[in-house]
Structure 1
Amino acid sequence: MSTFRKKLEIRRSQFKSTSTKERTIQRRYNQQIQISKAKREDLLNKKRNLLPKNDLNIYQPEEIKKYIKNLPQLAKQLQSENKKEKTEASEIIRNLLSIPKDPPIDQVLQCKILPILVDFLQDPKEPDLQFNAAWIISNIASGLSEHTKLVVESNSIPIFVELLGSKNEDIQLQVQPLMSVLKNMLVYSNREIIVEATTALGYLAEGSEKNIQLIIEHNIVPLLVALLKYNDNIIKFPSLRCLGNLITGNEEQIISVLDNGLIQYIIDFLQSQKLAIRKEACWILSNICACTSIQIQDVIDEGALPHLIYILENDINQVRKEACYVISNMINYAKHSQCRYIASRGIIPILTRLLSNEDQEIIYTCIESLDIFFKVEDADSELQNKELNEYRNQFEEEDGIKKIEKLMESKVSNISKRAIYFYCIHIEALSDEEDDEEIEDLFYEEI
């Protein structure tokens, strides 16, 4: 079982019976998004465009009736040992579901062929059957919500997601319409369908700028952001995780995602009662802050710093560690003026106190951040031609020197090396620039 399918099973296990209140909310929501009969017909007509137009009308009305009547026989053919018979049957069903109006989705489903098609979908040794199965299942999923639900329950969505990475270009091309299916799933009132879609999209966005671009181009991001308004954490969390994965794309993609008003939602989630949501929000902010000073300013302007400071001072280490990374990325990619503003919020005493924390990642990140703050102050000293010691004074007031000296003796190699480097550069205050450069070169060689 793939990693994605394991994740999906875990997600499904979280579902509980819906309360009366939840059912009422769902009914109201369903009424609001109810589409007109005309639009439903349009939805049914959104079929694959891979065949030439004349092939979409490959069957005359009488032939269509004949093939629909023979669907039970075609279903038996799909289970034949003869590859040619299976392929012919799958092609006929594929063409039936590609007719522009009223494709016989219900009649096909009544033949209970969906499990057979899912098996074909997983067989790369039979690309023709795999291709036809992808086409048929895509068309079924493009139908009404009950059709989509059956496709979801068949466990075919994760297979489609994996097929986007197929080496077979025809298969890749055929499963791309899945994006439209997933997009439609996000507006259903059915909780399980929404979670299936957000989980699939989140997996799709992991580590692939190509897939991230597909999601953006299909205008799915606004729907994911809208799901963050839900009070239901089972819907909210996979949506948040998916958006977090989208933020790992390139700069242009990150900006495109942020243009949907994501930052304010993320900052609100820093106050969530749910540990996992606070942690995820910090992780997303750290990636946003690793973009440009423009995004960092947006994060500052939306009021993130007070919430991050609260987490650093009061939360558990799991979340605190992620908040440390937010601050670290902020000052690594910020302008000096932004660093000075962050320092003015009282962050240096907090980072100094955290040097006594037991978490090695927190300690390392705090030393790294303090190093940057001190270098910013040194640069300001040179610019103003006078000695500035505000940051160092705040550091010393929290016994920072003693803490660094203790960390220099740490048994954890990268901590002791980072502490020694910090001590030599900032505490001994060596005036010889060549010595400073020598220490820095030595540190980075050893790291």
Structure 2
Amino acid sequence: MTLHTEKSTAEEDSDIIEFLNRKLANLSVASDAAEVLGKNDDGLPICEVSMLLPQYAHAIYNALHSPVRQLRLAAVVRLRKYLSLQNVDERVDNVLELNIIPLLIEFLETYNDNLLQYETAWIITNIAAGSTQHTQVLVAGGVTQHLIKVLTTSTNIEVQTQIIWALGNIAGDGAVFRDIILSAGVLDPLLYILTHYDRYDYMAVRITVWATANMCRGCRCSDPSWSLITPAFPILGNMVQLNDPEIIADACWGMSRILNGTHKHREHALVSDSSLCRRLVQLLCEESLSSTVHLPVLRTLVNIASGAEKQTQAVIDAGALTVLTSSFLTIKNLTLRRDACLAVSNVAAGTYKQVEAVLTEPKLLESVVALLWDNDMKVVKEACWVLSNSTSLHDPGHIHIILQHNIISSLIHHLRNPSTPCEILNKILDTLVNILSVGDVPGTDTLPESHNEYSVRLASSGVVEALIETWNNAGEGDKIKEKVLGLLGRWFYDYLPRNEHSDAVEDDGIDIASIEERVSRMSIMGGVDVF
């Protein structure tokens, strides 16, 4: 197997999905939401909003179909307030039982009544905040096309904002709904608003940025719809220049999603200079911002660094390594700590000079080595990736710097631990291969036998015993076993424990005899290059 450096884009974790606001109900109920609704003006029965349905479904249905505008509006307002209470799913079920989707579309296109349009869009927003089945009812009923039509024809900002909110909820319900909306051309009016943000109030801009970010959710570089969302990237980049934390956070989520998966398609270089990276690094330095802002900012930097050489260099030039070292590699927040390490590993997967930048950044490598002892295996995994990537160029100078930081003891610890995840073991073994590959010294006239300057050093540190334990801990057929045998056979065959008769023996339950037999057979056959 040929070793190679790897970069990774960061996925959204299940433990932060709630924060990501996939779907948002508009719960901004007016102060009279809990009022007792009377017959004063509209003739509708007296009831509290929470009891509107199903008890008074017949009265509401009749009011919605009334030729009297005031009565229709009153019924729509009551439904909106009803949907703005808790237990959204149950309330949406009750509203959909009225079979009023065609009527909502009709109200939505009542261009001479902005208030009715607005209240109707609000109802649709909260229906779309329910379950996927609820969203499916809206889409199947043709609501999305009419939402986009009104969005592009209405001149009322409040109506536009509420429609954008509804579309954001629909797009957040999955790739199928997202692609339906994107294919209908929804992004153009959204980007127009963001391009001319100074003409709109901040609420409109906030909702539009959030909805745009939702349109980017789950759309990877390899997806056909990816080309539809890439025009949003530079405009979202402009949004992070604003001083609104909500706008900054959502803009960064959008950019990080657009960049997701681009590490496998490095021809797509969306970051053309370091100005965006400088702003992102500046935001990381602002202690007044919470982790809910720092996380998407850092996630965007991680995914930028996963791209082409120019993008990775932009991250370095912006001073990201210094800030990551001083503020994030040692931070208590687990997700931020892990993502900081992931950003470093992406830079370390770059060119010679980029690896050099990682290894020479004061205290950076020291912090990464400390993370090898972290209590969270996700953090340990990223730290192992840093070491594997930093050694992958097989540069003697790089190896020398890394070995000065006493990494071997921590690697041995994880090799010996039977609960160490396979992905971590693989990266540790890759790192050892990288180091030992540099240490190979060919034979000379005075010293005919070829040797390895690092084999003795690692063997004396306990690496051989740790590898044997790793081999025994691995299950039958596990590829880890073959990688361990490759290491032992190529660099440590002479260091396998033997008794005085030169036969391998079992020691403390470790099946040395079996390993020695397989390694000996492999050596007789000329060796097996498993790396």
Q: TM-score range by the shorter chain?
A: 0.5 to 0.7
Q: Which runs of 5+ in 2 are unaligned?
A: 1-10, 23-109, 121-141, 172-176, 496-519
Partner residue, 1:147: 201
Tell me which residue corresponds to 1:244: 302
Counterpart secondary structure, 1:440: coil
**2:341 partner letter:** C
**Residue type matched to 1:156 in 2?**
A
Match of 1:73 among 112, 118, 132: 112
1:178 to 232, 239, 243: 232
Q: 1: CA distance between counterparts of 2:468 and 2:348? A: 31
Distance change (3 Å), C-alpha of 1:362 and 1:145:
farther
Classify 1:85/1:411 alpha carbon distance in 2 versus 1 (closer, same or farther; 3 Å).
Answer: closer
**Residue matched to 1:419:** 484
Deviations 1:352-377 (A, max 9, x none): 33321231333332233223322322
Match of 1:410 among 473, 480, 484: 473
1:355 corresponds to 2:415: yes
Report the CA distance shift for 1:113/1:296 in structure 2 as closer, same or farther (over 3 A).
closer
- Report percent identity of matched pairs: 19
Q: Quick one: which of 314, 334, 339 aligns to 1:275?
A: 334
User: How far apart are the structure 2 equivalents of 1:5 and 1:345?
Assistant: 32
Match of 2:382 in 1: 322
Distance verdict in 2 for CA 1:73–1:144, change over 3 Å = same
- Provide the residue aligned with 2:428 in structure 1: 366
Q: Is 1:108 aligned to 2:156, yes or no? A: yes
Which structure exhibits the higher relative contact order, with contacts defined as CA atoms closer than 8 Å and separated by 6 or more residues? Answer: 2
Following the alignment from structure 1 to structure 2, what is the Cα–Cα distance between the partners of residues 9 and 423?
A: 47
User: 1:18: which partner in 2?
Assistant: none
**Alignment match of 1:158 (pick from 182, 197, 213):** 213
Partner of 1:379: 441
Q: How many residues align?
A: 364
TM-score by length of 1: 0.66
Alignment of structure 1 residues 309-348 onto 2, 5 Å: 309-313=369-373, 315-348=375-408
Contact 2:239 2:251 in 1 (8 A): yes
In 2, Cα distance between equivalents of 1:82 and 1:415: 54
SS of the aligned residue for 2:440 comes to helix
The secondary structure found in structure 2 opposite 1:144 is: helix
Deviation, structure 1 residue 295: 0.9
Distance 2:322 2:446 in 1: 37
Measure how far apart 1:234 and its partner are.
1.7
The answer as to 2:270 corresponding to 1:214 is yes
**Partners of 1:193 and 1:202 in 2: how far apart?**
14
Q: Which has the larger radius of gyration?
A: 2
Number of the residue aligned with 2:458 = 395
| Aligned AA (1:227) | L
Contact 1:160 1:178 in 2 (8 A): no
Is the alpha carbon distance of 1:295 and 1:109 closer, same or farther for their aligned partners in structure 2, counting shifts above 3 Å? same
Q: Which amino acid aligns with 2:320?
A: L
Aligned residue for 2:269, secondary structure, equals: helix
User: Equivalents in 2 of 1:292, 1:218: separation in Å?
Assistant: 17
Q: 2:318 aligns with which of 251, 260, 271?
A: 260
143 and 382 in structure 1: CA distance in 2 versus 1, 3 angstrom threshold: farther
Question: Is it true that 1:300 corresponds to 2:359 in the alignment?
Answer: yes
SS in 2 for 1:333: coil
The one of 243, 247, 265 equivalent to 1:189 is: 243
Whole-angstrom CA distance in 1 between matches of 2:13 and 2:341: 26
The structural deviation recorded for 1:408 is 2.8
- Cα RMSD (Å): 4.4
Distance 1:354 1:164 in 2: 34
Q: Aligned partners of 1:285 and 1:8: how far apart in 2?
A: 24
Quote the residue 1:104 is aligned against. Answer: none
- Residue 202 of structure 1 deviates from its aligned partner by 0.8
Using the TM superposition, give the Cα deviation of residue 283 of structure 1 relative to its aligned residue in structure 2, in angstroms.
1.4
Task: Indicate yes or no: 2:189 matched with 1:136.
Answer: yes
Matched, 1:440 2:528: yes
Change (3 A) 1:202 1:410: same
Alpha-carbon distance in 2 for matches of 1:198, 1:273? 22
Q: Which runs of 5+ in 1 are unaligned?
A: 14-70, 94-106
Give the secondary structure class of the aligned counterpart of 1:376.
Answer: helix
Query: Matched residue of 2:318: which SS?
Result: coil
